[in-house]
Amino acid sequence: MSGLETLIKISLACLLGGLVGMERESLKRPAGFKTYTFVCVGSALAMIVSVSMMQSYHFYSSADPGRIAAQVISGIGFLGAGTIIREGPSVIGLTTASGLWVVACIGLAVGAGLYMPAIFTTCMILFVLLALNKIEARISGVRAYKMLTIVISNSPEVLGSVTFALGKAGISIKDMDIRDIEGENLIEVDLRLDLPLRMTIRDVEDMLTNTGCPEIVDIIRS
């Protein structure tokens, strides 16, 4: 493998990984531009080293260029696991983690000289991240978060029962702000909710007042 070919592979891996990383960076995800670029370049370099070792030492042993690639695929799981975060009843970061895994595969493809599959895969990933998000939001309203303010007793047990009831109904709590009410043993809780398909904020109010949490003192729709 010539030095020029190696430089081309590393540069292409840097470009493709950076393109996907920029989209993640724009959304302030745990892994962004630099992380995706490093993963793609590192994977490409690992494959380049693997292929070079096979070419140099195949006379002395049965070298297998797939061994290092296999270790990259399994090892990237540890990095991806670090981007997955539990936020209340929901789990976030799965898209970022899977994106890291795909970018590692793109880097391996570039290192193996499979330029067209790597470029096409990058284009498809960008299409999924950019275009399908808009389609998904229009169909199901996934990104249209609803605000709700509740007044409850200043007790961890009561707040826990509210979050448990919301989670049981498939409602994700994206943000929560708690304020004390002066002179009373009450708190106001501002909730930013991600509702399931076809569920309205009125359904949430009815669920909390009628069946879910009788400890709620008042519900204020924002």
- Higher-pLDDT residue of 124, 183: 124
- pTM here is 0.57
Tens of pLDDT, residues 51-63 = 887 777 666 666 6
Q: Which of 24-28, 104-108, 211-215 has the lowest mean pLDDT?
A: 211-215
212: confidence class by pLDDT, cuts 50, 70, 90: low
User: Mean pLDDT of all residues in the chain?
Assistant: 79
Residue percentage of the chain with pLDDT more than 70: 79
Residue percentage of the chain with pLDDT more than 90: 16
| Residue 156 tokens, joined | 């961890």
User: How would you list the strands of the sheet with 172-181, edge to edge?
Assistant: 172-181, 186-194, 146-153, 218-221
The distance of Cα 164 from the centroid of its chain, to the nearest Å, equals 23
In this prediction, residues 157-179 reach a mean pLDDT of: 83
Q: Is the pLDDT of residue 142 over 50?
A: no
The C-alpha atoms of residue 151 and residue 130 are separated, in whole angstroms, by 39
Tens of pLDDT, residues 67-125 = 777 788 778 877 767 666 655 445 567 778 888 889 999 999 999 889 999 999 999 98
Strands 186-194 and 146-153: antiparallel
- Higher-pLDDT residue of 127, 81: 127
214: confidence class by pLDDT, cuts 50, 70, 90: low
**Contact assessment for residue 190 and residue 177, using Cβ atoms and an 8 Å cutoff:** yes
Q: What is the pLDDT of residue 103?
A: 92
Phi/psi at 168 (5° precision): -65, -30
In this prediction, residues 197-219 reach a mean pLDDT of: 74
